[in-house]
Amino acid sequence: NAGVTQTPKFRILKIGQSMTLQCTQDMNHNYMYWYRQDPGMGLKLIYYSVGAGITDKGEVPNGYNVSRSTTEDFPLRLELAAPSQTSVYFCASSATSAGANVLTFGAGSRLTVL
Amino acid sequence: RKEVEQDPGPFNVPEGATVAFNCTYSNSASQSFFWYRQDCRKEPKLLMSVYSSGNEDGRFTAQLNRASQYISLLIRDSKLSDSATYLCVVTLDSNYQLIWGAGTKLIIKP
């Protein structure tokens, strides 16, 4: 049972480069989320999706884009990487919108922008 | 004032001791409360929910004080494996509106 799988685990980008963080879940969850976690800070919601074809902005969406073409996949796109996007990114999913008690997280993707 | 505040620590505690830490929240409309545990360089994992009447899970006890707007986590007979960062999470009434604290780092020493 894989749960939520994120790739890559680590990546170093140069300023201005683009990349996509991949997230796949095999639990048939409708809700998926992307968070970033900066040192000494709480998790911040970037984007979320309540089902295939439906996405919406979270607290810190600037500089990112997402798509949800299937229930399983929720990729996060960084178009023009900036040093401020250096962070650890977590993808999560949940079957319902009941709140934090049903979130399943991926192992995280550590991104450094130089 | 931050929406959810936690003492960052670290709390350095000898093995077998009891340790407690709090999390304060600013929005009185907050609906649900949780404690997550995060090991170094790992993803957060749910430790326990916090109910109005308080709840206990083995060595862990969580309590909610709505009047003073804080939740607490008590760990008894602490183990080396309890060393981690403990994240407080508060939800409002919408589906995705989860507010995360920055975490309290706990180090259990032998």
Task: Note the pLDDT tens digit of each residue in B11-57.
Answer: 999 999 999 999 999 998 888 899 999 999 999 999 999 988 889 99
Structure confidence at residue B96 as a pLDDT band (50, 70, 90): low
Q: What is the pLDDT of residue A101?
A: 66
pLDDT at B88 over 70: yes
CA distance A43 to chain B (A): 6
B-chain residues within 8 Å CB-CB of A97?
Answer: 95-96
CA-CA distance, A81 to A19, in Å (whole number)? Answer: 8
| Chain A interface test: which of B43, B46, B47, B89 (most A C-beta within 10 Å) | B43
CA distance A41 to chain B (A): 4
114 residues of chain A, pLDDT tens digit each = 679 999 999 999 999 999 999 999 999 999 999 999 998 888 999 999 999 999 999 999 999 999 999 999 999 999 899 999 999 999 999 988 757 667 899 999 999 999
- On chain B, the residues whose CB falls within 8 A of the CB of A45 are 96, 98
Q: Considering only alpha carbons, which residue of chain A is nearest residue B50?
A: A101
Q: What is the pLDDT of residue B94?
A: 60
Q: How confident is the model at residue A97, as a pLDDT?
A: 76
Closest by alpha carbon to B90, among B52, B50, B61? B50
- Look up residue A27 and give its DSSP letter: S
Does residue B95 have a pLDDT over 70? no
Distance, in Å, from the CA atom of A105 to the CA atom of A53, rounded to the nearest integer, reads 21
B32 shares contact with chain A (CB less than 8 Å) = yes
How far apart CA A57 and CA B90 sit, in angstroms, is 19
Q: In angstroms, rounded to a whole number, what is the distance separating the alpha carbons of residues A80 and A63?
A: 7
Give the per-residue pLDDT at B107. 97
Amino acid letter, A85: Q
Q: How far is A90 from chain B (nearest CA, A)?
A: 7
Confidence of residue B106 (pLDDT cuts 50, 70, 90): very high
